[in-house]
Structure 1
Amino acid sequence: MDRNAEFKRWKAQGLSKADLSRKGSVDEDVVELVQLLNGREQYFTTSSCAGRIILLDGNINGFEVQKQNCCWLLVTHKPCVKDDVIVALKKANGDAILKFEPLILHVQCRQLQDAQILAIRSTHGLEVPLSHKGKLMVTEEYIDFLLKIANQKMEENKKRIERFYNCLQHALEKETITNSHPKEKIKDKNNSSYTHKKKRNPEACGKCIEENDKALENDDDPGISVTIFPEDY
């Protein structure tokens, strides 16, 4: 069996597995992105989260929370209000942490050149301790302030998902055209028709690539974790 056929079999097995996430389904804001990737033969997704605000109760190890040893007091993929957090905090017995996590998307890729399109990381997050050994260490006013920041990040995260989807869609369409005309790709680099073709639709091409380039420079767009199909699989 060749590598392409093996990856196809591996993809079919991966997509047929039950969704083991807490929610049990793909988040609404990332459904189209997941479908776009799974619709391409060189990719398939293994897990995803559109972005969430969570309140965890557990132990603090520096600034890192060990989720497997934590109790999830609150989790939402929508804007959060102070009263919900206050009620959830009453259940805390350890060190409660309020977090905002942006888009998380894990993707299996057939080969390196496929993974390179998705290799983007993000620092668009928030993590703040609120209580220690069950005792609230901040005021309700401060919690309200933190939620305003978290909700703003949630809205910005949605915009970035949409922008990333549009840029990825454009990149995949361009790749399809290039792969369907491999000989023309080499020829067109040295003639005027290639230049003319690039200038015909600058908004559809240049704007998307320019935004993506700026995102990479700022390390500020939704992040993708990629796994390349192993050589010895």
Structure 2
Amino acid sequence: MDRSAEFRRWKAQCLSKADLSRKGSVDEDVVELVQLLNGREQFFTTSSCAGRIILLDRGINGSEVQKQNCCWLLVTHKPCMKDDVIVALKKANGDAILKFEPLVLHVQCRQLQDAQILAVRSTHGLEVPLTHKGKLMVTEEYINFLIKIANQKMEENKKRIERFYNCLQHALEKETISMTSYPKEKIKEKNNSSCTHKKKRNPEKACGKYITEGNNKELEIDDHDDPGISVTIFPEDY
């Protein structure tokens, strides 16, 4: 089976499907990043979110914050105002949670080495309960304080998206130069020898972990300054 042809077919299939997100389109702040990835033959995106501030009501009987079972009181991909949150909170019947969620990007990769420059994660988020059984548990002053923090995180998130885009673009350009400068046989031999060498040094570490560590070095982004990226390797059979 020609795996490259299968991956291209799978990519065309997925990218031709309708956008089933609540918004129905790619967020403005992440459009260029999504286009950059989809423009490369070895990647395609399956979902994305540039970052958002949301207010969820998990209901009276809810025990966990599960978005699929929640009432969405407020969602915005831009900085929000205290009055918007106060108005939305009046609709809460259970335990309302104010959240900030950073960039999330799900990417399918053709093979393991293609995922090398994408396996990064982040903890740049916020989640605070505001009501219990419909009763407001905090003051408006505290809500205003939380919104300022959420808005600051939103602005920082935009900077991180731009920084990640620039680093990714640089890494892809570097990869293209390498691919055109060396014969495919040499590149394959080099990749295999790198992975084998890593296993000999520490057989308990999988090659996949080596890839993640190599990625952080490649993009020059540390663990505390990364967007949330989820990578899926093209499976043997799907």
Superposition misfits of 4+ residues, deviation over 3 angstroms: 59-64, 182-220
Moved more, 204-213 or 86-95: 204-213
In 1, Cα distance between equivalents of 2:191 and 2:17: 48
Unaligned runs of 5+ in 2: none
Q: CA deviation at 1:68?
A: 1.1
Q: Judging changes above 3 Å, is the alpha-carbon distance between structure 1 residues 160 and 191 closer, same or farther for their aligned structure 2 residues?
A: closer
Q: Judging changes above 3 Å, is the alpha-carbon distance between structure 1 residues 141 and 208 closer, same or farther for their aligned structure 2 residues?
A: farther
SS at match of 1:64: coil
Aligned length: 233
Say if 2:58 and 2:64, in contact at 8 Å, map to a contact too: no
Say if 1:55 and 1:75, in contact at 8 Å, map to a contact too: yes
SS at match of 1:107: strand
SS at match of 2:229: strand
Q: Judging changes above 3 Å, is the alpha-carbon distance between structure 1 residues 175 and 210 closer, same or farther for their aligned structure 2 residues?
A: same
In 2, Cα distance between equivalents of 1:219 and 1:196: 24
Say if 2:120 and 2:229, in contact at 8 Å, map to a contact too: yes
SS at match of 2:169: helix
Moved more, 102-111 or 172-181: 172-181
In 2, Cα distance between equivalents of 1:21 and 1:228: 23
Moved more, 182-191 or 45-54: 182-191
Moved more, 52-61 or 107-116: 52-61
In 2, Cα distance between equivalents of 1:215 and 1:83: 44
In 2, Cα distance between equivalents of 1:85 and 1:57: 12
SS at match of 2:191: coil
SS at match of 2:78: coil
The CA deviation string for residues 119-165 of structure 1, in whole angstroms up to 9 with x for no partner, is: 00000000000000000000000000001100000000000000000
Q: Judging changes above 3 Å, is the alpha-carbon distance between structure 1 residues 27 and 183 closer, same or farther for their aligned structure 2 residues?
A: closer
Q: TM-score, normalised by structure 1?
A: 0.84
Moved more, 194-203 or 4-13: 194-203
Say if 2:60 and 2:93, in contact at 8 Å, map to a contact too: no
Q: TM-score, normalised by structure 2?
A: 0.82
**Percent identity at matched positions?**
90
SS at match of 2:87: helix
In 2, Cα distance between equivalents of 1:196 and 1:64: 45
Q: CA deviation at 1:231?
A: 1.5
The CA deviation string for residues 157-184 of structure 1, in whole angstroms up to 9 with x for no partner, is: 0000000000000000110110443389
Moved more, 186-195 or 160-169: 186-195
Tell me, yes or no, if structure 1 residue 208 matches structure 2 residue 210. yes
Q: Judging changes above 3 Å, is the alpha-carbon distance between structure 1 residues 58 and 183 closer, same or farther for their aligned structure 2 residues?
A: closer
Say if 1:170 and 1:205, in contact at 8 Å, map to a contact too: no
Q: CA deviation at 1:223?
A: 1.4
After superposition, where does 1:68-79 map in structure 2 within 5 Å?
68-79=68-79
Q: Judging changes above 3 Å, is the alpha-carbon distance between structure 1 residues 187 and 44 closer, same or farther for their aligned structure 2 residues?
A: closer
Q: Which residue of 1 aligns with 2:143?
A: 143
SS at match of 1:22: coil
